Structure 1
């Protein structure tokens, strides 16, 4: 016995037997990203924006104190722990604004472009374990070579900030503002664009780590090598977990540990 044919009159919203036919699409449009040169040029602009935000904070402090706007005044104020902390903090909104503009011009999602997705606990534990292994390896090498585990000028800065009442401001600057600014630039914007170019993921991890290392040129070659190795691990975890929040948290934990140990527990 055959079933009666379904007519167009049967298919309507009020018919519980034959509801309207709907077609859902499971495919999503590919994310529009800047490729190699676009990412490189915008990355340079983002870095300039970060620099302008940081220098702008120093210039504002100089102007508020009524000092002449010359290099002597800028350098004098810039060496103060409170001023340096404010400078690092003000680099964050400038960085975010420049990255937002670059992504906006591509009409892409800010969250998806930067992979601002929360990692799982397993990914967080794996990332932390790898970071500890890398840091401890360099600690062992430093001790065997008779080197300081922390650059001397950073030790002096942090202890001076502690003695002058700027400990919490420096802690926030180096454990929150700096990791967010640097990760958004390196493992966020640069990695996204370069991994979609001819570099692919391995090349993007290496090149973004080199750029991140170049941001720390105040260190000597030994510490730059350590920064680069940490950057490689961060880049791998950014790819593996597809989460920028993961590397931000790892970066923050690494910096916070160094700051706390130097300020309060170091000899």
Structure 2
């Protein structure tokens, strides 16, 4: 990432600086709005739906995921199973995804704002993690997904990779972690403990230690957004936008 960052700053310094300043502005405005709502006592929490997922259902979804080791559609089967379980528990998808609370356009706009506000802080945390790792003699390994993205020359494969990064991964991870695992844990633990455990597992399963802390914080943000609004679609939108920002920078580095 150091080489990529250096190239971006050298060739697109003004653009990158403008993006970082926009992130600072978004974070500041979000903080002001959050504080005003809190002072006014109108800041809701605990809006995510409660679904009585059972341990047997958790094990079933887990087995579908593990089957991905042998069967490439394991993750897709797990997501289908979760959506079927939602209907089994007699919850309609509008309530599950939160489209009655926020319209799709509101989710998209709010997701962009929150993702932009989180971008710079999370990048700073990631940079700090790499610096600490180097200081203790543990260099940051390259991220396989980024290496694959940078070095692929096949347009069809690149298009599929973009579809996965920008749409499928955010959708799948949010349904799995926030829309299923978090809801399951929340039935048995406090919201805070469930939020932390879900974020920890979310970060751990990306298998890249320099990204662990920023992904953990990102997971907390996504879970909090879900609880404050009751909209799983908002957490999906935040995730999509965040991946889009990173992908945009990688595209500049790749083709610039």
Q: TM-score, normalised by structure 1?
A: 0.61
Residues 123 and 246 (structure 1), Cα distance of their counterparts in 2 relative to 1, 3 Å cut: same
State the distance in 2 between where 1:253 and 1:55 align: 31
Post-superposition offset of 1:133: 4.2
Q: In the alignment, is the contact (CA less than 8 A) between 1:158 and 1:259 conserved in 2?
A: no
Q: Which residue of 2 aligns with 1:158?
A: 149
State the distance in 1 between where 2:69 and 2:245 align: 24
State the distance in 2 between where 1:108 and 1:152 align: 38
Residues 246 and 143 (structure 1), Cα distance of their counterparts in 2 relative to 1, 3 Å cut: same
Q: Which residue of 2 aligns with 1:215?
A: 205
Post-superposition offset of 1:110: 3.4
Residues 138 and 187 (structure 1), Cα distance of their counterparts in 2 relative to 1, 3 Å cut: same
Residues 107 and 152 (structure 1), Cα distance of their counterparts in 2 relative to 1, 3 Å cut: closer
Residues 126 and 204 (structure 1), Cα distance of their counterparts in 2 relative to 1, 3 Å cut: farther
State the distance in 1 between where 2:181 and 2:140 align: 29
Residues 95 and 203 (structure 1), Cα distance of their counterparts in 2 relative to 1, 3 Å cut: same
Q: Which residue of 2 aligns with 1:52?
A: 67
Q: In the alignment, is the contact (CA less than 8 A) between 2:130 and 2:140 conserved in 1?
A: yes
Unpaired runs of 5+ residues, structure 1, are: 1-30, 58-89
1:182 to 173, 177, 182: 173
State the distance in 2 between where 1:176 and 1:46 align: 21
State the distance in 2 between where 1:111 and 1:151 align: 40
Q: Which residue of 2 aligns with 1:11?
A: none
Select the structure that is richer in helix. Answer: 2
State the distance in 1 between where 2:50 and 2:132 align: 48
SS for the counterpart of 2:71 is helix
Residues 160 and 175 (structure 1), Cα distance of their counterparts in 2 relative to 1, 3 Å cut: same
Post-superposition offset of 1:174: 1.4
Residues 54 and 98 (structure 1), Cα distance of their counterparts in 2 relative to 1, 3 Å cut: farther
Say whether 1:43 aligns with 2:33.
no
Post-superposition offset of 1:233: 0.9
Post-superposition offset of 1:186: 0.8
Q: Which residue of 1 aligns with 2:51?
A: 33
Post-superposition offset of 1:250: 1.1
Q: In the alignment, is the contact (CA less than 8 A) between 1:114 and 1:244 conserved in 2?
A: yes
Aligned pairs, how many?
Answer: 198
SS for the counterpart of 1:56 is coil
Post-superposition offset of 1:150: 8.4
State the distance in 2 between where 1:258 and 1:150 align: 18
Q: Whose radius of gyration is greater, 1 or 2?
A: 1
Task: Decide which moves more: 136-145 or 93-102.
Answer: 136-145
Q: In the alignment, is the contact (CA less than 8 A) between 1:47 and 1:95 conserved in 2?
A: yes
Instruction: Quote the RMSD (CA, aligned, Å).
Output: 3.2
Q: Which residue of 2 aligns with 1:127?
A: 114
Say whether 1:243 aligns with 2:234.
no
Say whether 1:255 aligns with 2:243.
yes
2:87 to 104, 119, 127: 104
Say whether 1:204 aligns with 2:219.
no
State the distance in 1 between where 2:50 and 2:236 align: 24
